Amino acid sequence: MKSTAYLAAAVGLLIGGLSPCVLGAPSVGPTLIPQAGAPIASATLRLKFKVGETQVYHLVMHINGTIAQNGAAAMPFDQVIDMTSTQVVQSIDPTSAAATVKSNLVMSSMTMTYNGKVIPIPTTAKSPIGDITSVIEPTGKVDSFHMDPVPGTPQALKMDTNNPMFGAIFSPDKPVSVGDTWSRSTTGGIMGMNVTTNYKLSDLSVSKGEQMATVDSTLSGNLSSTVPNHAATTMNGTFSGTQSTLFDNTAGVTDSVTSNSHVIVVTATDTSQPPPPGAAGTTPTDQKIDITQVMTMTLVSVK
């Protein structure tokens, strides 16, 4: 049962990855900032990266839902994960202005209950979750995303994708005004995800001399793939969610993100197929995972 609960956590973390990918790229020129209270007709939203710059974010994820195995009654679970993400700009492509960013996720604490019982969590405070290397364009488009597993963790935590979905803001090439909407669709990538995200610029104003933009978005999609390292097990699901991002367009960094998402994942194993080499005795059970997740991410420091 504990491994099943951890699978739910992994799915939650993965879907949570749809929301936050932050950072910054060299600005093309100075940004003129009107005085507080003055109207802002429009703005071009862009990340602004600087080589060597480090951004630290505090993340809290609250995941709850149910897990049903082999047709049995669904069991409830609930968990809260507190994390810190440290992101360092390593290099910037002189032609595209895309930045290579190295991120490190560290878990400060996690609490978990399964079917009303507390699941003991190893007392490994501040334990690393993994290192992520991304190539991100100033528009927020992610050209590549690679997450290495922490030594000693399952290889299933290792992910490679060319899926440009990991962006808090995927901004258009033209200036946008309050009320403007835009969208993007992506296919493939991690777990065979097909995602449609609709964005709306809800506010554009000045606060403490900074041009701040509030972008609200909705996303929906589905996934279809095989379970990593176990080709006989299929994984299918749907997800939907909303997100509100506060973006500092003067500094070119994401200030905060709040997201809500709902995920349903169903796994099924073809028992007529033998497990792959090295997976004997670890055949996943058929199960349905229904997850609701709330995530907040707040900028702590930039240096």
Domain that holds residue 212: 2-302
- The string of pLDDT tens digits covering residues 209-261 is 889 999 999 989 888 877 665 667 788 899 899 999 999 999 999 999 999 99
Q: What is the CA radius of gyration of the chain?
A: 20
Is residue 13 within 8 Å of 259, Cβ to Cβ? Answer: no
pTM across the whole model: 0.80
User: What are the residues whose beta carbons fall under 8 Å from the beta carbon of 270, sequence distance 6 or more?
Assistant: 232, 233, 234
Is residue 182 within 8 Å of 193, Cβ to Cβ? Answer: no
d(CA 9, CA 13): 6
3-class SS at 114? strand
Residue 189 tokens read as: 């990538």
Tokens 């992910």 found at: 159
pLDDT of residue 187: 72
3-class SS at 131? strand
Closest to 171 (Cα-Cα) out of 299, 15, 40, 48: 48
Q: With bands split at pLDDT 50, 70 and 90, how would you rate the model's confidence at 23?
A: very low
Is residue 169 within 8 Å of 184, Cβ to Cβ? Answer: no
- The string of pLDDT tens digits covering residues 136-159 is 889 888 887 777 765 555 443 444
pLDDT of residue 20: 41
Higher pLDDT, 133 or 278: 133
Residue 244 tokens read as: 């509100």
Taking the CB of residue 202, how many other CB atoms lie within 10 A of it?
15
- Whether 167 has a pLDDT exceeding 60, the answer reads no
- Whether 134 has a pLDDT exceeding 90, the answer reads no
Q: CATH number for the domain including 241? A: 2.30.230
The number of folded domains in the chain is 1
d(CA 200, CA 175): 13
pLDDT, average across residues 183-202: 80
